[in-house]
Amino acid sequence: MEKKYCVIGDPIAHSLSPDIYTELFAHYGLPGCSYFKEQVTVQTLPEFIGGLRARGICGFNITMPLKQAVLPYLNYMDPSAAYGANTVVVEETQGLAGWSTDAAGFVRSLHEHGHSFLDADVVFIGCGGAAKTLIRAAAKEARSITILNRTPDHAQAFASLPGVKILPLSNIGSQMNSCNLLINATPLGMSGIGADFEDLSFLAKLPEGAFVCDLIYDPPMTAFLTEAERLGHATMNGLWMLIWQACYAFEKFTGIMPDLAAFNAVKAVLGRQRQLPQ
Ligand code: NAP
């Protein structure tokens, strides 16, 4: 039986999701499954949701700016989607069920690099939708969490959590000394946005052995990661999280959790198509 899936967002042309899921469907021998991308705005979201069953769409992924906008349409919202859903399954009888697989994808990526939130002193740069989902996961395990945001008020939801400190981004230089896991969760350095860190000298204050992550995958090496590597730190770009979060979403769609071989097959396909590093 044919099963249709898609990713929705605005803009959507850049999305790598069709390449990822098409490879996963091929890897697991699911020729009846197909995946496409569709431009959907906040205004056209009700029409898209209303047409799901008639179009035979069994599930969909959600990207900017719809992760929060989709929540009111869910009949079941997993706690992981508290700050927005990225995966929705269209169930036969029970309606729409939504999750965010972003934190699971990021945590799995950390594990694959030999790191975790457990007992870590984590510094988040940024506190938008992606960061909030990760902070929610980190709060269960980390020793300390420092959130540096351009607008500190946007992090207030976490102010009462033990071990959490919220500061303006301008304080970054003084917050590196005890950090062993640094995560850029802003779009600074992303292709096409025209804004980047003006000064990366704060990275020189990181202790030896600190692991440095960027949620950005385009470009695969931001100036932030390049400088961290130059200083001798191990790094991870956003491609890992992008693929692993899709793997967890694939499990919601099909019941199959992709293994490392499937992950590597997807990574190789993206590398060939987009000249991303292997
Ligand atoms: P978002 O909700 O729009 O949040 C953006 C965050 O960056 C906010 O904290 C914002 O601060 C800050 N920011 C934006 N422009 C800034 C600037 N010029 N200077 C300083 N801070 C700035 O975005 P998001 O969905 O969380 O995404 C954040 C990044 O993660 C993006 O690069 C996105 O592509 C990436 N991402 C990657 C994956 C993956 O799978 N690899 C998944 C999700 C997101 P304010 O609070 O002050 O506005």
Q: Tell me, what amino acid is at 43? A: Q
Closest residue CA from atom 44 of ligand 1: 130
pTM (2 d.p.): 0.96
- Which member of 4, 37, 67, 267 is catalytic? 67
Q: Exposed, middle or buried by CB within 10 Å (0-12, 13-18, 19+), for 181?
A: buried
Tokens read off for 66: 């719809």
Phi, psi dihedrals of residue 170, rounded to the nearest 5°: -65, -15
- Of the candidates 116, 246, 118, 106, the one whose C-alpha atom is nearest the C-alpha of residue 185 is 106
Closest residue CA from atom 39 of ligand 1: 242
Query: Is the distance from the beta carbon of residue 9 to the nearest atom of ligand 1 less than 6 Å?
Result: no
129: CA distance to ligand 1 center in Å?
Answer: 7
The answer to whether the beta carbons of residues 135 and 102 sit under 8 Å apart is no
195 Cβ contact partners less than 8 Å away, ≥ 6 residues apart: 187, 188
Q: Is 67 a catalytic residue?
A: yes
- Of the candidates 26, 81, 46, 100, the one whose C-alpha atom is nearest the C-alpha of residue 248 is 100
pLDDT tens, per residue, the chain with 278 residues:
799 999 999 999 999 999 999 999 999 999 899 999 999 999 999 999 999 999 999 999 999 999 999 999 999 999 999 999 999 999 988 899 999 999 999 999 999 999 999 999 999 999 999 999 999 999 999 999 999 999 999 999 999 999 999 999 999 999 999 999 999 999 999 998 889 999 999 999 999 999 999 999 999 999 999 999 999 999 999 999 999 999 999 999 999 999 999 999 999 999 887 655 44
The whole-angstrom separation of Cα 269 and Cα 271 is 5
The answer to whether the beta carbons of residues 28 and 256 sit under 8 Å apart is yes
